[in-house]
Structure 1
Amino acid sequence: MTFTRDHLRRLAQGRILVVGDVMLDHFIWGHVRRISPEAPVPIVEVTREEFYPGGAANVARNISPFSPNTHLMGRVGNDMAADKLRALLTEDKVDPAPLLVHPTLPTISKARVSARQQQIVRVDREKLLPLTEAELVEVEQRLRDLAPRLDAIILEDYGKGFMTEQLMQLVAKIAAEHNLIVTVDPSPRNPLPWAGVSLVKPNRLEAFAAAGLEDHLLPEAPLENKELLEVGRILLAKWNVASILVTLGEQGMMLFERGQPPHHIPTRAREVFDVSGAGDTAIALLTLALATGHSLREAAEISNHASGIVVGKLGTATLTPDELLAAFSSQ
């Protein structure tokens, strides 16, 4: 497909709410010169550290460069990590107002300590509890307030407790009342029935796991891979959804639509440095494109180009509208 500044102007009209497990990513880099006298562990002399929105917050952060109407709903604690996350979201022009605050749970955070391009340790702060009935009532109120000002909702599940079957059903009900698109980035740790949503976007590992099949990594091309084709058939029936987009890493994406033959989209990545966050970029741009009137195949193509840019960057990266425009121009 061709992609021009007119497409970018269309994307800018999209109004998206991301719902899911929000996190704060903390990256610490330094040098190791000696081993601690207190224990046989390296001493890291910190030279640089950065914070980024993580989890569902990173999905919202991928949308905001393209649309000023990006909202985020999840659960944070009453702590400094939540304050930092809100400040980062505001800086990235993401609306943090829909976030719920839990009085005792910590904001989920992940600190990664690296030296000489090697991660030494990761420190997680999290306590996983499902949403309470009171929180579901609060979610419903906020969803109903926002729904008239939305085009689409992304359900971003990292298996951290926020995404429950009751929440999914609530979102699907309100979305149906307002004719909103609902897309899902699922977690294999939290299998849910996704009937009522518009599209589910698992990666290859998640798709095979959800279908209950083993991936033998057959050498055939995706459209000739009988195992992959069977996965698509099973998941369309199991989840009872109209379409499924399976991301395949270096093999691109495979689109399964009810009543249509499978459609393969080759990868647009030129070099792969870091695949972290590529799935967030894929669901973000896919949903934004669908929300602004692009066809499903057009949206998948836009999503594929966007992911191809992000995997060529290090860390939890995003992309700019100009980068996406350049990627299409160079194809």
Structure 2
Amino acid sequence: MIFSSEYIDHFLERFKNLKVLVIGDLMLDEFLWGKVTRLSPEAPVPVVEVQKYSYFPGGAANVARNLLEFTKEVSILGVIGKDEAGRKLLEILEKFGCNTQGILTVPNRPTTQKTRIFGRQQQVVRVDRETKEPIPEGIKKEVLFYLEKEIASKDLIIIEDYAKGLLDQALIDFILKRAQGKIVAVDPHSNNRLDWKGVTLVKPNKKEAIALAGFPDIHEEDLQKVTEAAMVLRDKWDCTYILVTLGEEGMLLLERDGKTKKISSVCREVFDVSGAGDTAISLFSLALSCGFSGYEAALIANHGAGIVVGKLGTATCSPLELKRSLLSYPDPWFS
């Protein structure tokens, strides 16, 4: 498929009118940037002299941030702690224009925060502050009440599972029962073995696909085994699409009718693959919601992910960047 400038403008305009609900584990991503001039006298590790810092939405919140580049009607459901990280995450999402009425505060529960420390443009270490305990019963009732009100008005539901305690099978069944007839896209986690039967799309990365299919992790770099794993998942969950993100190698698309396509990456240079999956599921789901085929949606998502891996940190793709990328590669780029 060849994308013309007019055609790209047309579907980007259609993206703007979609109403999306993102459900999942929320995180705050903190980046500390500094210089390294010496090793610590206490241990053989570099000393990073912090010069600047930045904060971005992470986890399901990063999916919302990606969506907000293309459509302004994005609502999010998740939990945060009554702490500085939660307050900062809420403030950032509201600044981006996200509807945060579905974000619930849980006392005595930390907001998931991931701190990445960089020296000389290289990540030195990552520090995680989180809990994986299930959310309290009282909060679960509030979650169900919010969903009961909101699902009917949405065009698209995206579920982001990071196995941090929000999602369980009862909640998934509740969502799918009320979202019948809508596009439901899922980014699963191999540590939370949920039944996704009935969803439109499941988007694992290759490591998750191998694990969820029950294959040994020695096969993670074997594309044939990744393909077989994706087939197992497609048959297990009877979903319309399985989209496996392959990092700098591109994507693998399986459709319900058996068609399999390997879509090569269009990135020119890879700096950081983190967050590319969030861009991929956002753009693929938006395109499906506008009536694109799975193959067309995957092409669009692949270009968006290719842009993001060329950036450091938790990044997004803008409509202008997506348009330029699509016009720069007139060939379909699949094998």
The TM-score normalised by the length of structure 1 is: 0.91
Q: How far off is 1:113 after superposition? A: 2.1
1:285 — aligned with what?
A: 283
Considering only aligned residues, what root-mean-square deviation do their CA atoms show, in Å?
A: 1.9
**Do the aligned partners of residues 100 and 229 (structure 1) sit closer, same or farther apart at CA in structure 2, a change above 3 Å counting?**
same
1:198 — aligned with what?
A: 200
The question of 1:85 aligning with 2:89 is answered yes
Cα contact 2:187–2:204 (8 A) shared by 1: yes
* Cα distance in 2 for residues equivalent to 1:150 and 1:170: 15
Among 229, 236, 240, the residue aligned to 1:242: 240
Among 136, 143, 162, the residue aligned to 1:158: 162
**Do the aligned partners of residues 43 and 259 (structure 1) sit closer, same or farther apart at CA in structure 2, a change above 3 Å counting?**
closer
1:274 — aligned with what?
A: 272
Paired residues for 1:14-53 under 5 Å: 14-33=18-37, 39-40=42-43, 43-53=47-57
* Cα distance in 2 for residues equivalent to 1:84 and 1:308: 29
* Cα distance in 2 for residues equivalent to 1:83 and 1:168: 27
Count of equivalent residues? 322
* Long gaps (5+) in structure 1: none
**Do the aligned partners of residues 99 and 31 (structure 1) sit closer, same or farther apart at CA in structure 2, a change above 3 Å counting?**
same
Amino acid at match of 1:169: D
**Do the aligned partners of residues 79 and 233 (structure 1) sit closer, same or farther apart at CA in structure 2, a change above 3 Å counting?**
same
* Cα distance in 2 for residues equivalent to 1:309 and 1:119: 20
Amino acid at match of 2:190: P
2:11 — aligned with what?
A: 7
Q: How far off is 1:121 after superposition? A: 3.3
The question of 1:62 aligning with 2:72 is answered no
Among 178, 182, 185, the residue aligned to 2:187: 185
Q: How far off is 1:44 after superposition? A: 3.4
Cα contact 1:15–1:291 (8 A) shared by 2: no
Identity of aligned residues (%): 47
Cα contact 2:243–2:254 (8 A) shared by 1: yes
Q: How far off is 1:202 after superposition? A: 0.8
Paired residues for 1:118-267 under 5 Å: 118-176=122-180, 179-214=181-216, 215=219, 217-218=221-222, 225=224, 227-267=225-265
Cα contact 1:131–1:164 (8 A) shared by 2: no
3-state SS in 2 of match to 1:4 = helix
Among 294, 301, 304, the residue aligned to 1:303: 301
Paired residues for 1:308-323 under 5 Å: 308-323=306-321
**Do the aligned partners of residues 118 and 273 (structure 1) sit closer, same or farther apart at CA in structure 2, a change above 3 Å counting?**
closer
* Cα distance in 2 for residues equivalent to 1:196 and 1:131: 25
Task: Describe the superposition over 1:24-59 as per-residue Cα deviations: whole angstroms up to 9, x where unpaired.
Answer: 01111123445667x446543321000011111011
Cα contact 1:13–1:292 (8 A) shared by 2: no
Amino acid at match of 1:207: A
**Do the aligned partners of residues 168 and 118 (structure 1) sit closer, same or farther apart at CA in structure 2, a change above 3 Å counting?**
same
Amino acid at match of 1:266: S
Cα contact 2:48–2:119 (8 A) shared by 1: yes
* Cα distance in 1 for residues equivalent to 2:121 and 2:313: 12
Query: After the TM superposition, which of the residue ranges 251-260 and 101-110 deviates more from structure 2?
Result: 251-260
* Cα distance in 1 for residues equivalent to 2:247 and 2:296: 19
* Cα distance in 1 for residues equivalent to 2:282 and 2:126: 26
Task: Describe the superposition over 1:150-205 as per-residue Cα deviations: whole angstroms up to 9, x where unpaired.
Answer: 111111011111121112111111111xx321110011111211112111011111
Amino acid at match of 1:317: A
**Do the aligned partners of residues 257 and 80 (structure 1) sit closer, same or farther apart at CA in structure 2, a change above 3 Å counting?**
same
* Cα distance in 1 for residues equivalent to 2:84 and 2:229: 43
* Cα distance in 1 for residues equivalent to 2:145 and 2:211: 35
Amino acid at match of 1:330: S
**Do the aligned partners of residues 32 and 253 (structure 1) sit closer, same or farther apart at CA in structure 2, a change above 3 Å counting?**
closer
* Cα distance in 1 for residues equivalent to 2:299 and 2:35: 41
Q: How far off is 1:63 after superposition? A: 0.6
The question of 1:114 aligning with 2:118 is answered yes
* Cα distance in 2 for residues equivalent to 1:140 and 1:93: 24
